[in-house]
Chain A
Amino acid sequence: MFGSLLILLLILSVAGFYLGRRKAFVVAGGKRSQLHSRPLYHGLYVAALVGIPTLLLSLIWIFLQRPVIDALLLQSLDPKAIAGLSVSELSLLKSQIKSVAQGAIFGDPKPIVVEAAERLTHWRVIANWAMVATCIAIGLFVLIATRSKIARLFRARERVEHVLDLLMIAASVLAILTTFGIVVSLTIESLRFFDRVPFLEFVFGLNWEPQIPIREGQVTGGGAFGAIPVYVGTFLIALIAMLVAIPIGLMAAIYLSEYASKKMRAIVKPLLEILAGIPTVVYGFFAVLIVAPAMRSFGAMLGVEIAPNSALAAGAVMGIMLIPFISSFSDDAISAVPRSLREGAYGLGATKSETIIDVLLPAALPGIASGILLAVSRAIGETMIVVMAAGIIATLTFNPLSPVTTVTVQIVTLLIGDSEFDNPKTLAAFALGLTLFLLTLALNVLALRIVRKYREQYD
């Protein structure tokens, strides 16, 4: 029903467009230069005014229809029949009525249920038709009203611009509201967590053992929620990844933009970008099955003990995964530096490497920084490689050769299994999520500041 209504409304606004445009032609009487706005804008104006309000109305209608009908249904039930029913019994009755109305009849429903289901179906049909009728009627009315307003000096162009303005604002408000909603829900759940575990223990605690007994008599850890080891692990792995990704990515970018011939570039660039398309699971088992054993035997040769799960293996493989992020952004940024700057440097007798280091990299810094930023966010958010190669045990260590774990991995392990959101173990996931969000936000703001300061100074 709703789908067909949408199609009808679309047809109506398209019709509005053509009718409005035609009217504008007629009003102009063959002299189009006499119109304030081109006929196109008159048509768009009518179409927008017909389409947008009716669409909004139908959406609101759909949202309100169900609760209103539910309320009516409850009122219409025989008060005697539902007297003394508890809230959960009432809602059971309601869903029974609904499934009967949908034609799914199990067993032998009570007559009161069948009767109510018939009423429900009836009301729904009425409501749907009422919606269609109202929307179409309003649409038609608006169409006729706005079309009659079209005149030679009617400023349709300005109004269409205004409508576009509003649409853009609506789109950005929607995006902001979504973010806001996520933050609010994270905060609320985190507050519930901090009811059970003191805030200071979470932020400064050095011990992370979230496995608390769910059933009685289960043998588990003590249930400690100090997040420091998890954050140290995240930081350690991200750091190793960036130590791998930034130099290699940057040098690859410089090679691509300054040294590679056109042919070479056409081959190398797509090859590099394939790295970004490999699923992280594949990187994960690459890390576990190849990189980690190789590191272990290399370490053994040097007499260094390397754990089978290590931050180094996970971080190094993650770094390789992130190379294309940095190389691609930096390559674009370096290539976008105007030729005149290059020639200026060469003209002064700068060598190729001097030109790159002194002129190209500083000029391309904002682009390079955004690539690095994106890579850091990916490194912090990456889960699969860490689960497979670095482990899920939180130990407080800065040693890259030992197993560590990260925030996202902990969130996953906390939420696996079907325990409800009423104990510290599951709620801890929200607290971790919130702190992770705040951390990356701070990181972004900081990096933006640095880039902006640098830009003001040199641009």
Chain B
Amino acid sequence: MKTSVQQINNLTIGFQSQKGQQISILKNINTTINKGETVGIVGESGSGKSTLALAMMGYVKHGLFTISGECMFHSNNLLEMNNKELENIRGRKIAMIPQNAGQSLTPNLKIGYQIDEALKLHTDLKKTDRDNKISELLNKVRLPSPETMAQRYPHELSGGQQQRVAVAMALAGSPELLLLDEPTTGLDVTTQAHVLELLNLIAKDTGTSMVYVSHDLGAIAQVSDRVIVMYSGEIVLDGPVRSILKNPIHPYTFGLLKSIPKLTLPGLPNSMSGSQPQPGSIKEGCSFYDRCEFADKNCKINSPELEYINDLNTHVRCFRHKELINQNELNSQTVKSIENKILKNEILDLSNVSISYAKQKFIEQLINKIEDKNPTVKDIDININKGETLALVGESGSGKSTILKSIAGLLKTKDGIIKFEKDKELSSDLRKRDPKFLRAIQLIFQNPDESLNPNHTVEEIVAQPLKLYFGLKGHELKEKIINVLDKVRLGEFYITRYPRQLSGGEKQRVAVARAFAAKPDIILCDEVTSALDVSVQAAVLNLLQELKEDFGTTYIFVSHDLAVVRAISDRVAVLYQGRLCEIGPSKNVYKFPSHPYTEVLLGAVLEPDPDIKPKLVAEDIVEEKPPENGCSFQGRCPRILGDICKNEVPPWQTTENGNSIRCHIKIDDLKNQQTLN
């Protein structure tokens, strides 16, 4: 018999609408967290994941209230405790690691001091015991040399190390239950894999129960024993991780899994249509009805209950789950392999481009030069042909956005030349650039909340390039706006909306529409799907691909997600610290032999499958600056040869697959080493 740590019974949480109605955002939640168990909670943004996690420590956000139900921690209802009682539980028995916990450490206090504060608050230990405990905790989260680490300030640690400190602080009170809200979102792939590994170790070491909230099924697959899938405030599926991810018997989970691009199955995944209903808008029937491929008449009128399936030890909320059992369609997932028409004509040519963020000294301003021996981006040589999709990959800080900004003219280059259509040199000063080249190169950004003016309607947003470049007015302008919106599958009625009245996916479509309205030759996409839910991501990727096929647009596609890149690109360039490591056709870059850095990146990719574990080959340290001499990757390279890597810039070598690798190790040796593991 398993002992439960927390039991949630019939929990409904909601708010009072302006018209005085009660609107639930968590509906009738029933579940149990057992001792020593790690439970993953997944769902799209707005599905109620965080509200549920907060309720698990007796916290209901301002404006929300408990409509019914209870949240039992052992035999006490957390939702009925007063503040004093909760204080004794929070941090001591139940701890929480919020999103970006690592980044929110107090900047001017030493790590050791901050952990000590947590210990003072959550334990009754004496000073000497606390000092020992600090070392013990730092050891537990696998930080090297705890004594020196305790003396450091947060900014002296990498993102991954900061996150480890946050975990150490949460463990200070030896909690029975640890709640983690998107703990690895925003971290680099390699760092993320390391943090997940750490959480697994801690679960094993301490027997702490964990609740892991994330939208990322890849991360969930790596840490969870059990997975709860939420949709529109309801639990729709709850069961062991393997059964949920390998044989999902709820159409939503099924669709979600199918919309994730995977390295094991390259190509553009199908997207799930529609978006989650607004809270309170579902009056009758199944809340997934509008988007469900399996729906029938019954689903429209009746709401399914959460039903227990004995064979699978799974709870499911769907009338037709039986038809999904043994549907092995997941394996025969249909993806669209992309086949771009790439013309022979070169459209963009970067030769020897270096970019520096160093401040120009006065003299340098006069002669319009920057003296920086070690610029952020150095010696980038890339040709892009018309119609191609070139991807730039690398961890954050590797210079991907910096390169895009220079191409767009937003950042001056230090050295090198950027040419458009073979012979037209692009001025690196935006104001000196010919307007027709400005029109030819358009940008799409990561976060549509930032890239769309919140005070403009969709009409005004899309009108900008049309007015600026084509001087359209009045009736003609309006017609064109509607026409462009139609291309991104947004109906005419959207034109009067403001960005805040759109969902994440719709906002990104508006951003895409604005870029295409300029009739550009090249579109620079900077992490355009990173801020989106997976189902929406697939839809936006498919849209971008269709538009490209219609208009023959060239894309430079920046992403840190290797599976997304694999799905959409013809060619991949791998960057480390602003230096190129490897470049070649994507189908080959993903095959060994690879550059040692590519190998590290590929190893860290998280597949939504608990049986495919990431390979952690290199440390997750982060370097502040690129090294001055030798190979850019020397600081972290697991295959480093020695002095030659530190002193000499490695040569370009070409593999039999046709991709170019910049490394001192001979291709044949790399092949032998990399096929070994």
Q: Do A and B come from one complex?
A: no
